[in-house]
Structure 1
Amino acid sequence: TAPPSIPSVLGTGGIEWAAIAAGSLAFLIPVVIVTFALRRHLLRGVTFGAIRQG
């Protein structure tokens, strides 16, 4: 998970922003892939809850 890895990005010269950006991207990519894979089901659930039946 992300919180235990936070101290590892504190280098001797300060915060290693490249490592933070790479880590953020690594956490973001699976979320985007799952969202695109399930978007049809997600939209169906949202619209089903918003549209009143009958």
Structure 2
Amino acid sequence: MSVSVAFLPAEPPELELGVVKLADSSAALAVLLRATVHAAGESLRDISAVASWRAHREQQ
């Protein structure tokens, strides 16, 4: 599932709204990196250790 950029104007164009499967097999909406961007693999940085996307942006 993908939502147009106009619907999420504050998100960078390489992100989209999607559905993820959780450990308990339920589903949740999440902001995801577009598959085409991930496949290209350029300039990707793992920010898992940072508390949130906003915290990551504040560090820059």
Please classify the TM superposition score into its range, dividing by the shorter chain length: under 0.3
Relative to the length of structure 1, the TM-score reads 0.20
The structure with the greater share of residues assigned to helix is 1
Select the structure with the greater relative contact order (CA < 8 A; seq sep ≥ 6): 2
Q: With structure 2 as the length reference, what TM-score do the two structures score? A: 0.19
Q: Which is strand-richer, 1 or 2?
A: 2
